[in-house]
Amino acid sequence: AFALEASHNENAVDDLAYHWWASGDRAKALQYGERAGDVALKLFEHGGAIAAYERTLALLDPAGRDAARVNEKIGTSYYRAGLMDRAIEHYALAWDFFRDTRDDPSYIFRLTRNMCGALYNDGRAPDALAFWTEALKVVVACGDARVADLARISYGAYLIDDGQVDQTLAILHSVDEGRLAD
């Protein structure tokens, strides 16, 4: 098993994840399940990534941080497969947890950006703008000025696409150019 565990072969990692899951070794199943999903996602095997992540998700406390993180990965897999409605569903589950956290501003920004992209691509531009309005407050509250500025710039792109020039200017004026140069 050691040689198989050391392998970076996509199928071997997924096979290990499944066998650890079937044997009841929760710790190994979680480790290899998420890893199998990550490998499949990198190889654009969206269905394989979703299957591996969902198998992993079944072992987690649905209200916990790890489940929220895996839901974000499932959302990204669906997003990349072009299934925006399913991506939104899983991003929303992740957001339900992370909206109340302040310890990882980059992650929260990425989740926000992905959720808004899925909403926008699903033809729900007003919902994307509403989500940005809510999520920007969370990102800013994290206290990382650089990430907050990146979030403001991204939000500004949605505002300008919606024709909201004055609001876009107000957002852009709130960005500290010095921090972005760092």
* Residue the block writes with tokens 């033809």: 123
Q: Taking residues 163-181, report their average pLDDT.
A: 81
Q: Up-side HSE of residue 22: CA atoms within 13 Å toward CB?
A: 6
- Collapsing DSSP states into helix, strand and coil, what is residue 57? helix
The answer to whether 108 and 138 are in contact (CB under 8 A) is yes
The whole model's pTM is what? Answer: 0.84
What pLDDT score was predicted for residue 181?
A: 53
Instruction: Quote the pLDDT of residue 97.
Output: 96
What does the pLDDT average to over 134-146?
A: 95
**pLDDT value of position 4:** 40
Helix axes 46-57, 26-42, angle to 10 degrees: 160
Least Cα distance to 158 among 130, 177, 134, 139 occurs for 130
pLDDT classification of 11: cutoffs 50, 70, 90? low
